[in-house]
Structures are given as C-alpha cells and as structure tokens.
C-alpha cells in the first residue's frame, strides 16, 4: 500500500466551502481512480487553517498516475479555498489496520 500526504492552508473562513468541495467534487474524482483505497482529511481545531489529507493507494504507480492525471483538476477545484500551493509527500505504508476497519464497517 502507498500513501500521499498533502498539507495545505485554507484561506480565512473557507472551511465549510472546503468540506463541501471535498465531499461533492474531490472524493468522486478519487473514487474513479485506479487503485484508490481511502481518503482521510484532518482539519486543525477551531478556526485553524491547516489541513492534512492522506490518501491510500494499492500501488505507488496508481498514486503517481493520479498525480499526473486528475490531481491538476483537484488543484483547480481547491484554488478558491487554498492559500498557496499544497505540499505533497509520498510514503510507503509500513503498517495499517485499514483492511480490518473496512471489513468491520462492511459487517454492520
């Protein structure tokens, strides 16, 4: 498994707009990508502007194909709410309980 770690700062008073864009526009794009597994997004508490988004992918090649293909479209969508350019870092996943969480959620 492979992950992309994207750090960014929101423009003031755009948290709600960011969350709507994520749910209505970005997640649907991600779900169409080969090898996409999950997206976890963290918002700084209170009125903080820091965001960390972690996406999980089956393989490194899947994440790289997304970065070259659909990610520029995602950046355009986020341009209205993000201050500056998001920082992207890539990681190999050493351990995860994701498969156990996915199985548990499906058995409810």
pLDDT at residue 105 tops 80: no
Residue 20: the pLDDT is 96
- Asked if 15 and 86 count as a contact pair (C-beta separation under 8 A), the reply is no
Residue 106: the pLDDT is 52
Residue 103: the pLDDT is 46
d(CA 85, CA 51): 12
9, burial (CB in 10 Å: exposed 0-12, middle 13-18, buried 19+): middle
pLDDT tens digits, 44-62: 998 889 999 999 999 999 9
Task: Tell which phi-psi region holds residue 107, choosing left (phi > 0), alpha (psi between -120 and 50) or beta.
Answer: alpha
> What's the pTM?
0.86
Residue 48: the pLDDT is 87
Task: For the domain made up of 2-106, give the CATH fold.
Answer: Alpha-Beta Plaits (3.30.70)
- Asked if 57 and 37 count as a contact pair (C-beta separation under 8 A), the reply is yes
Over residues 32-41, the mean pLDDT reads 96
d(CA 92, CA 87): 17
d(CA 46, CA 30): 27
Delimit the domains of the chain by residue range: 2-106
d(CA 68, CA 98): 25
């Amino acid at each position: 498994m492979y992950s992309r770690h994207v750090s960014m700062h929101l423009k003031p008073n755009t948290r709600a707009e960011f969350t709507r864009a994520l749910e209505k526009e970005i997640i649907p794009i991600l779900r169409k990508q080969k090898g996409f597994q999950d997206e976890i997004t963290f918002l700084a508490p209170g009125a903080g502007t820091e965001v960390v988004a972690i996406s999980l992918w089956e393989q490194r090649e899947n994440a790289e194909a997304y970065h070259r293909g659909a990610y520029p479209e995602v950046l355009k969508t986020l341009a209205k709410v993000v201050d500056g350019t998001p920082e992207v870092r890539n990681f190999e996943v050493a351990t995860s309980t994701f498969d156990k969480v996915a199985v548990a959620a499906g058995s409810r």
